């Protein structure tokens, strides 16, 4: 029997089922969100009458638009204040743990995961941020939503080959960004406006629908988590 890679072990241990299309439906163990890519996704949840599946596995922070000098609210940048208020409202409504400016745990979304011990070896992780794949350094299978800009629940059917390509592509992006930063490190610093394209992508919010079937034999419901669902633990991966 041929040996399996860590990627194979994590993938197989998080497989919910194989869809009729041959695609794999994966369980997402950790979902990190921030203020830039989530507003449209939360709006979609409201429109469809959905809530967040396994909200206890979702953690939010504000980071992309936090001022580096004057952090007094309201922010001098009106758009930054608007995005922050929207995230504050959304996490409160949907019951997501939030690390706001007043929290000692607030920080860069792809840094606080490992820093707070949320990111663990052998888990699946998703976040609408271009640096999500860096969690792979901790033995996690991470990424996906930034490439497509859709909620986690819409990404569970990605073929394994495509998932691998996206993670490899993310690594290439990071290498390019590092080279670009270093090559321009001596140049003048210019103000960069917040891009609207990234916000309009949506960004991952896992969801449990009002009605319908997941495609794997279990019903999607908008009711509160069942006792079984609330007790679900992240799959453990053997490194043997």
- pLDDT of 225-237, one tens digit each? 333 333 444 444 4
Average pLDDT of the segment spanning 47-65: 92
37 confidence band (pLDDT: 50, 70, 90): confident
**CB contact set of 39 (below 8 Å; sequence gap of 6+):** 83, 86, 87, 90, 199
Q: Say if 237 falls within a structural domain.
A: no
Residue 74 lies in a domain: yes
In a domain, 79, yes or no: yes
What are the CA-CA distances from residue 187 to residues 180, 194, 201 (Å)? Answer: 11, 21, 31
**CATH code, domain carrying 87:** 3.30.499.10
User: Residue 29 pLDDT more than 50?
Assistant: yes
Of 154 and 31, which is predicted with more confidence? Answer: 31
pLDDT confidence tier of residue 5, bands split at 50, 70 and 90: confident
Phi first, then psi, for residue 32 (nearest 5°) are -110, 135
* Residue 234 resides in a domain: no
Give me the domain span that covers residue 221: 6-180+206-225
Number of domain units in the chain: 1
Whether 132 is in a domain gets the answer yes
**Has residue 165 been placed in a domain?**
yes
Does the residue 134 lie in any domain? yes
Q: What tokens were used for 68?
A: 């580096």
Q: Which residue has the higher pLDDT, 114 or 195?
A: 114
Residue 132 has pLDDT above 60, yes or no: yes
By the 8 A CB rule, do 30 and 118 touch? yes
Q: What is the pLDDT of residues 86-97, one digit of tens each?
A: 999 999 999 999
Distance of CA 221 to the CA centre of its chain: 22
């Amino acid at each position: 029997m041929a040996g399996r890679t860590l990627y194979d072990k994590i993938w197989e241990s998080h497989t919910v089922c194989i869809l009729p299309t041959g695609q794999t439906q994966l369980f997402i163990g950790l979902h990190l969100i921030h203020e830039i890519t989530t507003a449209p996704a939360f709006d979609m949840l409201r429109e469809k009458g959905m809530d967040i599946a396994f909200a206890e596995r979702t953690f939010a922070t504000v980071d992309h638009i936090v001022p580096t000098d004057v952090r007094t609210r309201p922010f001098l940048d009106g758009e930054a204040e608007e995005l922050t208020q929207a995230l504050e409202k959304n996490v409160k409504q949907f019951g997501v743990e939030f690390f706001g400016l007043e929290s000692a745990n607030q920080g860069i979304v792809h840094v606080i995961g490992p820093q707070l011990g949320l990111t663990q070896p052998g888990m699946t992780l998703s976040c609408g941020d271009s640096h999500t794949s860096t969690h792979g350094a901790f033995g996690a299978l991470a990424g996906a939503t930034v490439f497509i800009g859709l909620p986690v629940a819409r990404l569970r059917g990605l073929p394994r080959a495509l998932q691998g390509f996206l993670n490899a592509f993310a690594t290439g992006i990071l290498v390019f960004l590092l080279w670009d930063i270093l090559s321009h490190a001596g140049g003048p610093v210019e103000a960069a406006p917040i891009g609207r394209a990234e916000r309009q992508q949506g960004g991952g919010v896992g969801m449990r629908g009002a009605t319908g079937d997941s495609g794997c034999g279990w019903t999607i419901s908008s009711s509160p988590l069942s006792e079984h669902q609330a007790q679900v633990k992240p799959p453990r991966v053997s490194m043997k």
